[in-house]
Amino acid sequence: MNTYYLTTAIAYPNGEPHIGHAYEYIATDVMARFKRLDGFDVRYLTGTDEHGQKMQQTAIQEGVTPMELATRNAAVFQEMDDEVLNISYDRFIRTTDADHHASSQEIWRRMEANGDIYLDTYAGWYSVRDERFFADEETQVNEQGVRIATETGTEVTWTEEESYFFRLSSYADKLLAHYKANPDFIAPQTRANEVFRFVEGGLEDLSISRTSFDWGIPVPEPTNPELATDKDHVMYVWVDALTNYITGAGFPDAQSELKRYWPADLHVIGKDISRFHCIFWPAFLMSAGIELPKRVMIHGFLNNEGEKMSKSVGNVVHPADWADRYGLDTVRFFLLREFPFGSDGSYSHDGVLRRKNADLSNNLGNLTQRSLSMVYKNLDAKVPEPGELTDQDQKVLADAAALMDTWRTHFEVQDFYRALGAAWKVLDDTNAYFADQQPWVLRKTDEARMKTVLWVTLEIVRRVALLVQPVMPESATKLLDALGVEASADAGKTNASGQGPRSYAAWDTQLAPGTAIDKPTAVFPRHEEE
């Protein structure tokens, strides 16, 4: 069976999850469910990135240990995945997991064995009060002429500390060659361009350890005596964070049954961390002699009515609030249907409402309801037997049948926006077809023809319902229930979804005449709110 391994970025759990996190998890979930329904052996990894100075500082402020803080906050993310978003991850990895420690130390050893790690000093703006370094742009010179950290207002001084470095500089050409040979490695193109230009400008070696704090994975004992030191180093968090992707595939256990998943097919990330995934990560892997992931898909940020989401503006949306207000499936649908994945998006209450009422209630929901109602009331609640198909029947059926290939093509590049657009075009046409055929008139004049029209319509609804299971698992399941399609698996939640009447393998298994249906009820009620 073909494997498909995909990941989200792991969240830094020093704050609460917001709709931006949810966006990434949902999109990745949709991709994972799609592949499972399409018969792939899928593994979906998500989790939390728990080390680093900020976690340690936050813990100190709150009077708990870093581990306690991490455990508490990781649980918040995991609960959101489980109880709010219905995310079908296969493992929720925490960078504090024991196997991840082993994995991170092993990739470090391999990079070292390849001669890419050396000991030197790292210089930067250091705040004694905050006990941390600040990047140049995180500092400013105040009115007294003293350089301070913008965030905390404390004085910073130019300081050097011992650090291990990674020879990133020697990987620029190799990276460029890889980008050129693998044009789909980074998407969308505009993000890829940014990465190319950055690398073309030359790369500096990267400081990959810290001695100024200890909340991290210890650097393993060096084998090369020149690297020996009496200081305690922990890994720079990005070394450990990125490595989660191979830990999730069983690294370094050569016997692991998870090994079949590497190289990953897809890393889904936000645009703020493209450099780490498109430059540092492949360089680390090259150094360690590990295959590179096949693709990094970079999504955009969500704006609230065109404005950046921020705590100070007070327009931060909590996923649970949205799910409660509109329904989870509506939220999932909206986020993928409203704007292209890879572009920034803007959401608003009116926008969600329009999508919900127009696309879900009026279009898909009502098409289902009007056709099922006629069957229920006039045809003894049994799926009718179609007669000879007219050109019009065949046209709409063929358009619906073509959606599977269209979706596969678009999903290959995570173009959920166009995939959904194509499906809704078919639904638009089907509503027009239904109105044009006027089955309510045929009821009195030509019952056989009415049966054909109703069967054609229901068959198209079946295909669309089957198709949209990854996007709206709950609602699609209700639609398939209403059509009397025999249940199989779980709408893409597990690999069991790859076969049976609700898998994509059943794409051409048409709706069986004679199937009993229940009294239809609205699957997508219009939005009601005071």
Residues of the shown chain interacting with RNA in the complex, contacts defined by CB under 7 A: 12, 49, 52-54, 122, 124, 132-138, 168, 190, 193-194, 197-198, 202-207, 236-238, 241, 271-273, 275, 338-340, 343-344, 346, 354, 357-358, 361-363, 365-366, 368-371, 373-374, 377, 428, 431-432, 434-436, 438-441, 522-526
Q: How far is the CB of 119 from RNA (least distance, A)?
A: 14
Q: Which of 463, 485, 458 is nearest to 370 (CA)?
A: 458
When the beta carbons of 371 and 495 are compared against RNA, the nearer one is 371
Q: How far is the CB of 190 from RNA (least distance, A)?
A: 5
Q: What is the CA radius of gyration of the chain?
A: 27
From the number of C-beta atoms within 10 Å of its C-beta (0-12, 13-18, 19+), residue 384 rates as: buried
Q: How far is the CB of 151 from RNA (least distance, A)?
A: 9
Q: How far is the CB of 519 from RNA (least distance, A)?
A: 10
Tokens, residue 387: 């007669």
Tokens, residue 240: 């450990």
When the beta carbons of 260 and 519 are compared against RNA, the nearer one is 519
Q: Which stretches of 128-194 are assigned E, i.e. beta strand?
A: 132-134, 139-141, 147-149, 157-166, 186-187
Q: What are phi and psi of 67, to 5 degrees?
A: -65, -40
Q: How far is the CB of 169 from RNA (least distance, A)?
A: 7
Q: How far is the CB of 343 from RNA (least distance, A)?
A: 6
Q: How far is the CB of 496 from RNA (least distance, A)?
A: 28
When the beta carbons of 229 and 509 are compared against RNA, the nearer one is 229
Q: How far is the CB of 357 from RNA (least distance, A)?
A: 6
Cα angle vertex 72, ends 86, 104, to 5°?
Answer: 85
Q: How far apart are CA 92 and CA 17, in angstroms?
A: 15
When the beta carbons of 357 and 494 are compared against RNA, the nearer one is 357
Please report where in the chains the tokens 């140049």 appear, as a residue: 136
When the beta carbons of 360 and 491 are compared against RNA, the nearer one is 360
Q: Which of 264, 299, 300 is nearest to 282 (CA)?
A: 264
Length of the chain: 530
Q: What are phi and psi of 484, to 5 degrees?
A: 75, 20
When the beta carbons of 435 and 448 are compared against RNA, the nearer one is 435
Q: What CA–CA distances, in Å, run from 488 to 477, 482, 491, 493, 498?
A: 10, 14, 8, 11, 9
Q: Which of 124, 130, 123 is nearest to 154 (CA)?
A: 130
> 272: Cβ–Cβ under 8 A, 6 or more apart, which residues?
none
Element (H, E) at 115: none
Q: How far is the CB of 111 from RNA (least distance, A)?
A: 15
Q: Which of 510, 476, 511 is nearest to 493 (CA)?
A: 476
When the beta carbons of 204 and 257 are compared against RNA, the nearer one is 204
When the beta carbons of 136 and 257 are compared against RNA, the nearer one is 136
When the beta carbons of 345 and 498 are compared against RNA, the nearer one is 345
